Amino acid sequence: MHSPDDRAADLIAAMTLDEKIQLVTGYLGMPVDLAAPIDSGGAFGLTEEMTPPPGAVGSDGFVPGVPRLGIPDLQLAGAGMGVTSLVPREQGESVSFPSAMAQTSTWDVPLIREFGRRVGREARVQGINVMLGAACNLTIEPRSGRVFEYHGEDPILSGTITRQELLGTQDEGVVASVKHFAANFQETGRFVVNSVVSERALREGELLAFEVALTGPADETDEVGVGAVMTSYNKLNGTYASENHYLLTEVLKDEWGFRGWVMSDWGAAHSTVPSALAGLDQEFPHAHWYGSRLKTAIENGDVPESRLDDMNLRILRSLISVGLLDTSRRPAREVEASLDTARRIAEEGIVLLQNDGILPLPRGFAGVVGVIGSHADIAVPSGGGSGAVRPIGGDPVSDPQGNLPRYWLPSSPLGALRAALPEAEIRFDAGTDQAAAADLAAECDVVVVIAHQLTMEHFDVPDLHLPDGQDELIAAVAATATPTVVVLETGGVVLTPWRNDVAAVLAAWYPGHRGGEALAAILSGAVTPSGKLPATFPDSEDDLPHREVFPMPPLHGKDGPVELTLVNILTEKQGEYFDAVYDEELLLGYKWFDATGKDVAFPFGHGLSYAQFSYDGASVIPGRDGGAVVTVSLTNAGEVAGREIVQVYATMPEEAAAPRRLVGWASVVLEPGEGREAIIKVPATYLSIWSVEETRWVRPPGTVRLDIAASSRDVRLVRELGTEQRA
Ligand code: BGC
């Protein structure tokens, strides 16, 4: 049997120049309503000549294959919460899974692997063979409109969870592309922002997330490897990500040994020769810089043909590795199984932030429960943009926003709560009139306010307050003295100024297609909450490293102000670049709040349970390579079964000048009274710092303190790891 490398090389030897150019030039794969207004990002700002070639199933991207050589067409669709269908297509409605923030809040590696498999399988059902996601940009700008697509503020957690989704998708014979490489931290001015980040901060922050997502811990066997990487729109330290030799070639391909291909984000390429020489292997979403321009560059020698062969080798090797050249069979659809996975992710990803004992509602609860919140009778929200999944069962609310899709999902928290508490009387109020909602609350024994924040790609939120007067609504309901439970259905973290006046708070994020059911199961105690925060809920925006999102300068074209749209980018009408300077350096997320000694509303890693876990002891065995194995004895001293996420944070020797960081965790399920040992492997690289001088990871000598903790701010045991102890 030929290796993927040999098979790819044989194909390349048989391909004509035109065929090789064809494989590196991607198109939009869906029909576009040219009558639709071309607004910010809408319909990708397409014009007629960009309509897709025949054969496209109707998704984000399409690359014609080479049938005479058995190379299939590439059909690319959005990933992250399921298989997207930006325009309606056959079987394009599918299960919408909980957001990436919810997925990450599970900290559950096998569950997210299963999620990836569900996505891969559904992709094949729909004729899609390359998934555009997951995304592992860090959520260090909590107001970013895409936080719901990202995996939190810690690079090791984000990379680990992202990797499982990618590999799961590939397990099912579909290539997964990790995005957006790199430093795509905010949506405001996303086409013209220049992210300024120091080398060390990049390596120990954003790039570490990608490194973990792509390479995993050193001891993992990974025969296939993640198949593709998507660049970002922004510049990084003055150079477009899509023509950034440092990012694409020096770090990604040479240092990390990435063997897949690099595709541009849609409209993120800005040149032919510099991009090709920097390491960009495929352009989307039309033949602007590649296509005939690349052919000319090859013919006149500006780009060596060996580089074009390398682009093709990378694409073909990934396709061959996942099996795409060997089978095109479409599997049977498994909607029920996907809904079940969606429910489990929601159940494990909902985080109980605060609880004065009101939850769970007692078994057989027969009191009056008020449910307040817009659409909580029929739906749960999800995030908008290219990651939005057109939901099976339809959108019960139908509240579109511009041309970018945004859906509510058909899952009713109210209905599910009625089913879970059959003896209770459950009343509903939409919450649009504060006084009416307070009146209802006053008549209840307990009230559940389901607050939401809608977020979407291309638009940051103006601030971290709940929108539409919901803070005031919660305050008015809480003022009735009826115990109040607040459920947050938000893209990411928000401010909780009313938290001292309410009985319980839950972060449900965008909980997906079975979100209402999962929520009801947690409120009623059928499921014990176990999620933990992948990001810090700050007390105030004043406490963030940056009080506001970096503002974009107004755009002026030749004939007056112009809008910054994708069509303008595609036709080379650039806006003015502006810098986003991340001078917090290594202090990303909780590292910032810890280093500056700020109080937070709810810390990174925090999450309550109905069970009670005691941390009885721990031992550390140093590994030969400088890593360690931490064993923690845990007991469930509570009365219900539960799952604890045990976390390990490392404080490096002072000379390392590095903030305390998460280096590992274990997810442990325990019956009441049960004891068990959690084993956490900490690789040496996670105890290393990036040496700018030596351009490599260095494990500093000296003693490392290991905090064994229930959250970043709830340390239960402290152990030491001395380098002198190395076996
Ligand atoms: C987004 C990507 C997405 C692509 C294709 C871009 O605007 O930034 O995340 O995969 O469109 O839909």
- Residue 95 shares a structural domain with residue 238: yes
- Which band of pLDDT confidence, cut at 50, 70 and 90, is reported for residue 573? low
- Residue 372 shares a structural domain with residue 412: yes
Query: Residue 569 pLDDT more than 60?
Result: no
Cα of 352 vs centre of ligand 1, distance in Å, is: 32
- Which band of pLDDT confidence, cut at 50, 70 and 90, is reported for residue 618? very high
Q: For the chain, how many structural domains are there in total?
A: 3
Q: Is residue 354 part of a domain?
A: yes
- Which band of pLDDT confidence, cut at 50, 70 and 90, is reported for residue 38? very low
Cα of 203 vs centre of ligand 1, distance in Å, is: 24
Q: What is the mean pLDDT of residues 191-219?
A: 93
- Which band of pLDDT confidence, cut at 50, 70 and 90, is reported for residue 329? confident
Q: Quick check: CB of 510 below 6 Å from ligand 1?
A: no
Q: Is residue 441 part of a domain?
A: yes
Among 541, 558, 574, where does a domain finish? 541
Q: Is residue 562 part of a domain?
A: no
Q: Is residue 595 part of a domain?
A: no
Among 491, 511, 541, where does a domain finish? 541
For atom 2 of ligand 1, the residue with the nearest CA is: 265
Q: Is residue 593 part of a domain?
A: no
| 0.75 surpassed by pTM | yes
Cα of 133 vs centre of ligand 1, distance in Å, is: 9
Counting from 1 in the atom list of ligand 1, the atom nearest the Cα of 190 is 8
- Residue 108 shares a structural domain with residue 231: yes
Give, as one character, the DSSP assignment of residue 484: E
C-alpha neighbours within 13 Å on the C-beta side of residue 366? 2
Q: Is 290 helix (H, G, I), strand (E, B) or coil?
A: coil
Counting from 1 in the atom list of ligand 1, the atom nearest the Cα of 84 is 12
Contact by Cβ (8 Å): 156, 210: no
Reading the block at residue 111, the tokens are: 């569950």
Among 321, 356, 390, where does a domain finish? 321
End-to-end CA distance of the chain: 41
Cα of 318 vs centre of ligand 1, distance in Å, is: 20
What pLDDT does 564 receive? 58
- CATH code of the domain covering residue 646: 2.60.40.10
- Residue 370 shares a structural domain with residue 428: yes
For atom 4 of ligand 1, the residue with the nearest CA is: 266
Collect all residues with Cβ–Cβ distance below 8 Å to 657 and sequence separation of at least 6. Answer: 689
Largest CA distance in the chain: 80
- CATH code of the domain covering residue 425: 3.40.50.1700
In which domain, by residue range, is 678 found? 612-725
Q: What angle do CA 528, 531, 536 make, to 5 degrees?
A: 140
Using N-to-C axis directions, what is the helix angle for 335-349 and 109-125, rounded to 10°? 150
- Residue 237 shares a structural domain with residue 360: no
- Residue 521 shares a structural domain with residue 664: no
- Residue 386 shares a structural domain with residue 446: yes
Cα of 262 vs centre of ligand 1, distance in Å, is: 14
Query: Residue 510 pLDDT more than 70?
Result: yes
Query: Residue 369 pLDDT more than 80?
Result: yes
Q: Is residue 635 part of a domain?
A: yes
- Which band of pLDDT confidence, cut at 50, 70 and 90, is reported for residue 625? confident
- Residue 124 shares a structural domain with residue 252: yes
- Residue 309 shares a structural domain with residue 382: no
**What percentage of the chain carries pLDDT values higher than 90?**
86
- CATH code of the domain covering residue 313: 3.20.20.300
- Residue 385 shares a structural domain with residue 521: yes
What pLDDT does 725 receive? 45
Q: Is residue 617 part of a domain?
A: yes
Q: Quick check: CB of 131 below 6 Å from ligand 1?
A: no
Counting from 1 in the atom list of ligand 1, the atom nearest the Cα of 566 is 7
Q: What is the mean pLDDT of residues 592-605?
A: 98
For atom 9 of ligand 1, the residue with the nearest CA is: 386
pLDDT in tens, 166-188: 999 999 999 999 999 999 999 99
Phi/psi of residue 687, each to 5°? -105, 20
Q: Quick check: CB of 78 below 6 Å from ligand 1?
A: yes
For atom 3 of ligand 1, the residue with the nearest CA is: 386
pLDDT in tens, 141-169: 999 999 999 999 999 999 999 999 999 99
- Which band of pLDDT confidence, cut at 50, 70 and 90, is reported for residue 101? very high
Q: For tokens 């059928």, what's the residue?
A: 526
- Residue 308 shares a structural domain with residue 355: no
